[in-house]
Every structure is written in C-alpha cells, then in structure tokens.
C-alpha cells in the first residue's frame, strides 16, 4: 500500500481500522474530489553541467574591477614552509554504532516561507535543514571541544597570523548535491554574491563589503585558496565557520534585482547530505528533506556516522498541544519538552506512554552562550537616567519568585550579561536579589522618600516612581505580572505594556521603551560581543538623540566604555580580551541598566523508544538533540514497540538526565 511506500505506516493501519467510516463518504459529489488535489510543484531545473551563466560573467568582470580583493595566483605563490593543520588529533563525536535509514517524522508550527537561504524570510526555523545544520563550510566548530574546529569542505588549513591570512586546502571530493564539484571559484563567487545587494539582506552586504570583515581572497588553484581578514583575532575561525561557504554559480545563473522572487522556491544545491525534492514541497502542509544515496562526506572523518535518517518529513501543525497529541500517537518521532508546562503537565513522568516505556524523556545539559534574557532599561528616559533608580529597580524585581511560579523553578536566575561564555564570563558577579529594604534605600537616594496614598513612592515635587515595562511575549505575561505585584511592596509602580511581538520590537528599535523584557540571539562564540549593545556608536545619532534600529537598548554611551570596547575588538591577546570582557561585565552590572532575568542550561526532549543516540546522548555544545545529526532509529525496535503496544505489553520507563556538561555558571 502507498502508505508503507511513503513510510506512513501508522496511517495504513488506521485507515484499515476505520473502514466503517468510509461509508459516510459515498454521498460525495464527483466534482468535490477536485477540491483536494495537491498540485505538484514545478521542479526547479537543476544544472549538472556546472557551467555558469550570465551571473558568472558579471562576477568575473567584478573580480577584474576589484583586483585588490580578488587575486589570482599560482600554486608556486603558496609559501613553501607552510604547516598544514587538519585537527586530526580531535576525537570524532558520532557513534560508530549508528545505523542509516528510516523516516523521521517531525513538525513545524508554520510552513517555511522560502527555500532561499538568504534574503527576506530566509532566517526561519527551517533554514537549519537547508544550510545551518545540514550544509557545510570550510571548517566547523567541534561540538565537544570548544574553540577547536574540524575540517569539512577543507582538508587542511594554515593560519598566517602576521599577514592575517588563512590558507585552505579544499577537499577535492566535495560536491554539491547535483554532482558538481565544489572548487575555489565557488568561494570567489560567494564574495561577489554577498557583496551585492540583490539578495536584499543589507546586514550581509555590510558584513562582506570589501575591507569590512574580509580584505582579500586568493585562488592558487582549483582546490587552494587563502582569505585575508581585517582583524586576526584569536577566534579567527569564527569568521569562517558560518560565513564562508561556496555558492554555486551554476545554480544562480541569473543574479539581479529579481533574485528573491526568482529563487523563492528553488533549492540551492547543497554540500550537505539532504536535499529538498520538488515533490516534497507541499505548500502549507508538509515539506521533507531526503538523504542522498551517495554523499561525498559519507566516509569523511567527523562527518561519517551522522545524518542517519533517509528522510525527514516536517508536517505543519499550527498548535503545540496538537503536535503533542500527534507525538503521543506515534505520528511524530520526537517532541521538544523544554517548556515546563509540557515536561511537567502535558507529558508528565506518570503519563501512560512514559510509564509503559514507549516514550523516553530526556534532559540534557549543554554548555553554550545563553540568550541574554533580562530587563533592559532605556537610560534616555526620565527616572531611568538616574543610577540609584536603576539599582533600586534591580532590587525591587522578584525575579526568583517569577521563575519559580511561571517556570516551575526549572529555569535558573541569570547573574550577568554574558552568561555561558566559560572563562570569559565574570562569575564573580551575582545578580541583585529581591530586597525591599535595599530597593527603598536606593530609591531614597534618588529622592523618592515618601509613599503616596496608593503606596507608590514619590519625590517631594510629586513625581511618582512609576515605570513602564514593555513585553511582547504572551508566555511572559504572568512573569511580568509577578514582578509588578512584588515591586509595589518596594514602592515601585510598574505599568505593564503588553504588545504583540512585532509592535514591541518596533518600540524597542525606535528606543521608545522605558523598560523591556527581551533577549537577543547569541552565537556559539568564544567571548561575548559588546559593540552592538554598549558602544556609543550604536546609542546616539550625531545630534545626540537615541539611535534607532540598533541593539543598544540601554542607550549606553560612555567614552571610557567605548575605549575599552574598541580595544577589545582590536585585541589579539586572549588574556587582554578576557580581562576587558570581565571588566565590562562588571561595569554593566554596576550600571544596572540591564537586569539579568533567567536562563536555561539544558534542553528536554521526548523520544519514541526506537530512537537511538550515542553514549552520553549529545555533544557538549548543542541547541537541540538533532543539531549534529548523530541520532538514528532502529527499525527492529520500532516494530517491537508497535507490536508490544498492540498486545498491551510494556517496557521499563526511561526518564534520564545527562548532566555531564552541567555548568554552574
């Protein structure tokens, strides 16, 4: 039956079971059948020739116009004494026991908006499966050894610190999914591609602009390149792990102002193992990625024994509760349970599926920088421009209680700005606790000495201690309400402004907020970035007004901080970087315009019994159980489980915590 063919076995049995229902359908009118037909998508024509189109010709002309950036050399120009590195001393992190095969059923809250990996709406949750997790760069960060990199599209590399240059020997085996070889030309084309603005992603245009981050790319032969960077920092590979990837010119034959529309639903040939087949794009309903039978990386060290599923099907389920029901039925193979209500209430340990041993519950601690969830205060606003008021507010917010009540104590109180950066985090900093006396003492220093009839503190001139708190997250509404209630005890009135996320974001971007509860994304990096958030360049316009569309939400503009941040950005000395990082975090704490709120140091997931994983479950640095593709499924265990379920047999329940990477920072 077609279900089995598609791997939809669960549907097959159910369909047979429901034969009695089918009689209802006989009243159907013939014409109605036409209503359900899902039209097949037009298959994007894939080039296997590897020949470039007009865009490549334009790129070549561009190279000629910018010889300072695009250099063509010969193998003889490579220094003879070069010492190639290949990280061969690093351990592999996938399990040799992993088995290939099976269809993984997954879900997404909304359908991907595009298959482009760049441009408007490309930065969606689905891009992981097109590029971020399933595509490769020259080197990839080793998930078990922070700060180390393993070769992916490169075989080896050499860093010339003096000339701020990195040489890459590319792996000649590497091909795109359409069979075309990945060569040095694709990296040159990438810089041309990104430096234009046709992709409509101005941040990328800025990042790749000549001289901004990278200053030169040199092709020595088809498989050897070097790239010069503006700042050769100790974490230099950060500039390569995400942002230097080959772009197939043979795919983007035309590259002009119609780029976003033209490539909206075409799959860019990938260097990774999974492709999106045209028939698997069922808009609004489901999308799937399919494993290549023969992938160039199958036997490559650090890539082998990974990406084990033959296919991964993503159903669109627009409601988390409904997705959980689908998971409990076995229609989905796993389900994220990090949210406390799901872990404790909706799939508790005593749930039948868990107690019967069909579904395993896993909690895995992971080390990585944490999103900076906190209360961000706008110092350009009255009252918040007063340091004593800010310190008082920090003492007046009962964040521990809010975490306990709303997150069931599962999340931890964050202590500082820059959590999860290992030795670059200032662990001496402890967040100010909820303390009414200290809060009132601080408010008194700011002139708020008497209580009004409603219990809110006032100055002699009648100014009330009343601050607005913007929230754009529905799931934080109870959280901010608890803060508001307890702050009143310290004489602080918090006026909660619940907005939808987009409106809240706009308000913050325009710097019209007073206080806001929010967080920014953070990459897995060696040390935190301060420039975006704390440099006066991002705080004020030349006229001295708060600068819109920047991340400096606190409007911090201190010359002495600027000097430190500039030095921090320019430094090549890890000790100096560490010293400045710790000092800046201390200053941020003292400044009290950012109140750290909460963090999670783990993720939780429910897995059906047939899912298998390496010893220790996952890697030291990971966002989710599937990020590095090291899991697999066992079809025999699946059959055993399904048959046991039919017969009512049970297994030992598995509720496991892996805390080998539990850091206490």
Partner 1 sequence: MRDYFLRRILLIPPTLIGVTMIVFAITRFVPGGPFERMMMTAQMAAAEGGGGGGGASRGAALSEEQIENMKAYFGLDKPWYVAYVHWLGKVVQGDLGTSNIYNDSVWSMIAERLKVSFFYGGLTLIITYGVCVPLGVVKAIKHMSFTDNITSIVIFSGYAVPGYVLGSLLVVYPAARWEWFPMDGFVSYDFEYMTFWEQVKDLFHHAVLPLSCYLIGSFAFVTLLMKNHLLENLAADYVRTAVAKGVSFKRAVFKHALRNSLIPIATNFGQNFTIFVTGSFLIESIFDIDGLGLLGYTSTLERDYPIVMGVLLISSVFMLVGNLVGDALVALADPRVRFK
555 touches partner 1 (CB under 8 A): no
Q: Are strands 149-151 and 139-141 parallel, antiparallel or unpaired?
A: antiparallel
Count of CB atoms within 10 A of residue 31's CB? 7
> What residues does 466 pair with on adjacent strands?
493
68-127: which residues touch partner 1 (CB under 8 A)?
110, 113-114, 120-121, 123-124
- In whole angstroms, give the CA distance from residue 242 to residue 41: 31
Q: Rounded to the nearest 5°, which phi and psi values hold at 180?
A: -80, 140
- Per rule CB under 8 A, count of chain residues that contact partner 1: 106
| Exposure string over 569-603, b if 16+ CB within 10 A, otherwise e | eebeebeebbebbbebbebbbebbbbbbbbbbbbb
DSSP three-state, residue 336: strand
Of residues 275 and 288, the one with the C-beta less far from partner 1: 288
Given candidates 134, 307, 603, 632, which one binds partner 1 under the rule CB under 8 A?
603
Of residues 135 and 392, the one with the C-beta less far from partner 1: 135
Of residues 67 and 548, the one with the C-beta less far from partner 1: 548
DSSP three-state, residue 150: strand
CB of 358 to partner 1, least distance (A): 15
- In whole angstroms, give the CA distance from residue 443 to residue 466: 12
Given candidates 77, 85, 500, 576, which one binds partner 1 under the rule CB under 8 A?
500
- In whole angstroms, give the CA distance from residue 98 to residue 614: 8
Residue 386 gets which letter from DSSP? S
142-201: which residues touch partner 1 (CB under 8 A)?
197, 200
Stretch in the footprint of partner 1 (CB under 8 A) among 22-30, 381-389, 432-440, 461-469: 22-30
Q: Are strands 224-229 and 450-451 parallel, antiparallel or unpaired?
A: unpaired
Query: Two tokens at 152?
Result: 């992916």
Stretch in the footprint of partner 1 (CB under 8 A) among 69-77, 81-89, 404-412, 487-495: 404-412
CB of 444 to partner 1, least distance (A): 34
List of E strands, 272-347? 274-275, 281-282, 286-291, 311-316, 334-336
Of residues 112 and 297, the one with the C-beta less far from partner 1: 112
Stretch in the footprint of partner 1 (CB under 8 A) among 19-27, 80-88, 224-232, 481-489: 19-27
- In whole angstroms, give the CA distance from residue 457 to residue 522: 37
DSSP three-state, residue 125: coil
Given candidates 359, 476, 516, 630, which one binds partner 1 under the rule CB under 8 A?
476
CB of 27 to partner 1, least distance (A): 7
Given candidates 303, 524, 555, 605, which one binds partner 1 under the rule CB under 8 A?
524
Of residues 28 and 80, the one with the C-beta less far from partner 1: 28
- Decide if 493 contacts 468 (C-beta within 8 A): no
231-270: which residues touch partner 1 (CB under 8 A)?
260-261, 264-265
CB of 271 to partner 1, least distance (A): 19
537 touches partner 1 (CB under 8 A): yes
Of residues 187 and 407, the one with the C-beta less far from partner 1: 407
**Residue the block writes with tokens 């000549």:** 210
Given candidates 73, 145, 232, 339, which one binds partner 1 under the rule CB under 8 A?
339
Residue 50, sorted as left (phi over 0), alpha (psi -120 to 50) or beta, turns out to be: left
32 touches partner 1 (CB under 8 A): yes
Of residues 223 and 417, the one with the C-beta less far from partner 1: 417
Stretch in the footprint of partner 1 (CB under 8 A) among 84-92, 248-256, 336-344, 452-460: 336-344
Given candidates 163, 523, 572, 660, which one binds partner 1 under the rule CB under 8 A?
523
- In whole angstroms, give the CA distance from residue 100 to residue 305: 8
41-70: which residues touch partner 1 (CB under 8 A)?
none
């Amino acid at each position: 039956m077609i279900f089995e063919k598609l791997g939809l076995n669960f549907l097959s049995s159910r369909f047979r079971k429901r034969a009695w229902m089918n009689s209802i359908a006989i009243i159907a009118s013939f014409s109605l059948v036409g209503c359900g037909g899902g039209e097949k998508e037009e298959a994007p024509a894939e080039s296997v020739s590897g020949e470039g189109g007009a865009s490549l010709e334009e790129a070549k002309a561009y190279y000629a116009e910018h010889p300072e950036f695009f250099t063509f050399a010969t193998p003889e120009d490579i220094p003879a004494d070069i010492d190639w590195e290949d990280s061969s001393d690093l351990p592999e992190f996938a399990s040799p026991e992993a088995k290939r095969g099976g269809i993984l059923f997954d879900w997404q809250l909304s359908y991907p908006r595009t298959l482009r990996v760049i441009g408007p709406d490309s930065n969606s949750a689905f891009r992981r499966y097109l590029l971020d997790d399933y595509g490769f760069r020259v080197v990839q960060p080793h998930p078990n050894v922070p700060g180390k990199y393993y070769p992916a599209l490169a075989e080896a590399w050499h860093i010339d610190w003096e000339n701020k240059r990195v040489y890459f020997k590319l792996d000649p085996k590497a091909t795109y999914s359409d069979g075309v070889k990945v060569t040095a030309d694709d990296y040159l084309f990438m810089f041309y591609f990104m430096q234009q603005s046709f992709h409509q992603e101005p941040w990328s245009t800025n990042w790749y602009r000549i001289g901004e981050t990278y200053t030169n790319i040199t092709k020595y032969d088809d498989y050897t390149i070097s790239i010069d960077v503006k700042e050769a920092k100790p974490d230099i590979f950060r500039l390569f792990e995400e942002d230097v990837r080959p772009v197939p010119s043979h795919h983007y034959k035309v590259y002009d102002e119609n780029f976003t529309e033209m490539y909206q639903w075409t799959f860019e040939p990938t260097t990774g193992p999974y492709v999106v087949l045209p028939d698997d794009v069922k808009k609004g309903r489901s999308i799937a990625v399919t494993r290549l039978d023969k992938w160039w990386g199958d036997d490559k060290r650090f890539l082998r024994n990974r990406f084990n599923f033959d296919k991964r099907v993503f159903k669109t389920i627009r409601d988390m509760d409904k997705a959980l029901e689908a998971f409990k039925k076995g229609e989905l193979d796993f389900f994220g349970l990090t949210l406390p209500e799901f872990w404790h209430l909706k799939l508790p340990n005593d749930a039948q599926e868990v107690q019967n041993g069909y579904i395993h519950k896993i909690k895995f601690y992971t080390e990585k920088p944490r999103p900076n969830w906190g209360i961000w205060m706008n110092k350009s606003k009255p009252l918040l421009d007063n340091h004593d008021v800010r310190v008082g507010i920090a003492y007046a917010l009962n964040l521990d209680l809010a975490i306990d009540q709303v997150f069931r104590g599962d999340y931890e109180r964050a202590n500082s700005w820059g959590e999860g950066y290992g030795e670059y985090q200032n662990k001496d900093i402890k967040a100010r606790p909820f303390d009414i006396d200290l809060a009132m003492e601080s408010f008194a220093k700011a002139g708020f000495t008497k209580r009004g009839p409603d219990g809110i503190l006032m100055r002699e001139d009648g100014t009330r201690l009343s601050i607005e708190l913007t929230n754009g997250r529905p799931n934080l509404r109870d959280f901010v309400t608890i803060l508001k209630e307890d702050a009143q005890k310290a004489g602080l009135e918090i006026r909660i402004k619940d907005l939808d996320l987009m409106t809240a974001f706009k308000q913050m971007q325009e710097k019209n907020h007073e206080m806001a509860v929010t967080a920014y994304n953070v990459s897995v990096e060696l040390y935190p970035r301060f420039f975006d958030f704390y440099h006066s360049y991002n705080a004020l316009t030349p006229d001295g007004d708060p600068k819109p569309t920047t991340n400096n939400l606190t409007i911090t503009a201190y010359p002495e901080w600027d000097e430190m941040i500039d030095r921090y950005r320019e430094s090549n000395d890890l000790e100096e970087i560490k010293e400045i990082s710790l000092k800046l975090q201390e200053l941020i704490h003292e400044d009290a315009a950012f109140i750290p709120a909460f963090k999670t140091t783990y993720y939780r997931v429910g897995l059906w019994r047939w899912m298998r994983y390496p010893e220790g479950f996952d890697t030291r640095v990971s966002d989710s159980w599937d990020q590095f593709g090291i899991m697999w499924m066992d079809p025999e265990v699946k059959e055993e489980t399904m048959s046991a379920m039919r017969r009512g047999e049970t297994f030992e329940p598995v509720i496991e915590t892996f805390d080998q990477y539990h850091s206490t920072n």
